[in-house]
Amino acid sequence: MKSLFLTAPGCLELRDTPPPVPGAGELVVEIRAALTCGTDLKTWRRGHPKIPLPSPFGHEFAGTVAAVGQGVTTFRPGDEVMAVHSAPCGHCFYCRAGQENLCDQVMENKVLGAFAEQILLPAPIVERNLYPKPPQLSFEAAAFLEPLACVVYAAQVQPLRGGETVLILGGGPIGLLFLLLARARGAGRVIVAGRRAPRLQQAHRLGADLVIDVDRDDALAQVLAATDGRGADQVIECTGRPEAWEISPRLVRKGGRVLLYGGCPGGTTVCFDTGRLHYDEITLQGVFHFTPRAVAAARELLIEGIIDVEPLISGRFPLSGLESALLLLAQGEGLKYAILPGEER
């Protein structure tokens, strides 16, 4: 089968590899659609500390069951499915504490290789985070299950409250998913602050009440002006930039909440005004990954059409076109690209 490997930063190689064979409890999915994401772009550009190279590449996907291993009775070949690329072990300290996203094994045992014709899913994913895909949901939309699960989990940790003013820092795919979810949860107003006019225009089309170009506008002044000088009820940081982390508490009202979603580079430190946090009772909340409960909730949002992800797909490429898609993203063009292995044939 055809499979894309990242052999070094900036170097992709389309290889012929043996088709995977499922073991007990495992399952093989024929990829019908895979999506690019910010992590893919960062890894392609500079590598990743958790991904030794060379490595299979890609982790957002949906497809059709190609083969099942011994003991798998819930799925059979031909079933259309949607999944995420990891699952908790279910028995470590964090899993027992109900914090499966912090499972000792969840990142070590994650599955990569969605930019391929087939992918092997281990038993924990088959058991906990693999679902049937209904016919009305496209494979491309179903591939959004993983990023949407991350956003849903974040909103479970720090809820999006109806009637409130929410400020989202970052107009990329994750920021726009938060925008869609905030609208679905009844937010009173949603403000999106970011860079790149096309992304801000898309945010406006998707329901943002106010967009702020941080390269041209004073974000703090605009947020204060839009909130009678108080600041937003909730700020959601989606850029992973230390400067955005540091300004976030300045953009929220007294008693407000800041959700620090974007991951900064390793070893980064930031500074906050302790007086602001203490006397104004500002809540800072970090968040990471997702839980099986969030995956199930994200699937329902997609199936019921409450979250329409189709506008976030900027184009489509065969496997051999992944580098072209990543180059477009590196140039600031587009949001997410669908990679369709079937078009390689």
pLDDT in tens, 5-61: 999 999 999 999 999 999 999 999 999 999 999 989 989 998 887 788 999 999 999
Do 26 and 60 lie in one domain? The reply is yes
The enclosing domain of 124 has a CATH number of 3.90.180.10
Predicted local confidence at residue 206, as pLDDT: 98
Give the number of other Cβ atoms within 10 Å of residue 188's Cβ.
13
* Boundary (domain end) residue, out of 239, 262, 286: 286
pLDDT at 345 > cutoff 60: no
Does the residue 215 lie in any domain? yes
Predicted local confidence at residue 303, as pLDDT: 98
* Boundary (domain end) residue, out of 240, 260, 286: 286
Q: Higher confidence at residue 217 or residue 259?
A: 259
- Phi, psi of 306, rounded to the nearest 5 degrees: -70, -35
Do 13 and 63 lie in one domain? The reply is yes
Q: Domain tally for the chain?
A: 2
pTM: 0.97
Assigned token pair, 103:
């499972």
Does the residue 197 lie in any domain? yes
Do 305 and 324 lie in one domain? The reply is yes
Does the residue 28 lie in any domain? yes
Do 89 and 127 lie in one domain? The reply is yes
Tell me if 325 sits within 8 A of 339, measured CB to CB.
yes
pLDDT in tens, 314-341: 999 999 999 999 999 999 999 999 999 9
Share of the chain above pLDDT 70, in %: 99
Q: Tell me the C-alpha distance between 149 and 1, whole Å.
A: 29
- Give the range of the structural domain holding residue 7, as residue numbers without chain letter: 2-147+290-344
Do 301 and 322 lie in one domain? The reply is yes
Average pLDDT, the chain: 96
Do 170 and 71 lie in one domain? The reply is no
pLDDT at 265 > cutoff 90: no
Predicted local confidence at residue 48, as pLDDT: 82
Give the SS3 label for residue 341: helix
